[in-house]
Structure 1
């Protein structure tokens, strides 16, 4: 019912999480698993081949849809020396913990960029005003 009030239509098997910033090319969605858990999927759009990230969460799709705020919130300062950019961001605060997204971009000598991204679940923590705090 809460989802209907928010104007969200929940699909039984897969639901897209839309970014509030339309300039973000990455795609984020959740998939219902057979054991009633949910898999968070993130397609990282890059200069070369896209990277797919997956994270199984012990939370319902409804819980995740309610937690999604449309953006990622920094929990570390960005490091940027012109060759390496790195930051950790929070994607979701769930009742059991926080979903983090870490990203690193490296500028190669030939001018091309490579990046590595990772999703992780941190139990017992949540993002609040740019900091991780205990739940």
Structure 2
């Protein structure tokens, strides 16, 4: 493992986005995503309260749907989970917008959701008892 930056590889070759993690000084990690769309690439950053090792161990090579996809031909929107951590999960809101000139742009977001986990297509509380 690189002590500064490590690529996270997608299982799906059809996903052109680049995903990597960077080490921060306080044993935290910054998740970086370069979203590739027709207009301009979009850079997303998210600081995570865990080490690179924890993130690399949690990454499974794919995103899992948390919400149904909405697609009306001009707007595509869906929430996906990237991975679960001990203290929460990382979600990616995917938004593709078709512009008037038929090019597409993204308006995506990464977020850390504390106290939640992705399980079988749902976000659930880590603290819920069964």
TM-score (norm 2): 0.93
Q: Are 1:67 and 2:58 an aligned pair?
A: yes
Per the alignment, residue 10 of structure 2 pairs with 19
- 1:30-67 deviations in Å (ceiling 9; x for gaps): 00001111000001111122111000001011100000
Q: Are 1:100 and 2:91 an aligned pair?
A: yes
> Residue 115 of structure 1: CA displacement?
1.7
Moved over 4 A (4+): none
> Residue 106 of structure 1: CA displacement?
1.5
Aligned-partner Cα distance in 2 for 1:57–1:84: 29
**Which stretches in structure 1 are left out of the alignment for 5+ residues?**
1-9
Superposed CA RMSD in Å reads 0.8
Per the alignment, residue 82 of structure 2 pairs with 91
- 1:67-94 deviations in Å (ceiling 9; x for gaps): 0000000000000111111000000100
Q: Secondary structure at the match of 1:64?
A: helix
Q: Secondary structure at the match of 1:30?
A: strand
Aligned-partner Cα distance in 2 for 1:11–1:112: 37
Matched residue count: 126
Q: Secondary structure at the match of 1:71?
A: coil
**Which stretches in structure 2 are left out of the alignment for 5+ residues?**
none
> Which of the residues 29, 35, 39 maps onto 2:20?
29
Confirm or deny: 8 A CA contact 2:35 2:106 kept in the other structure.
no
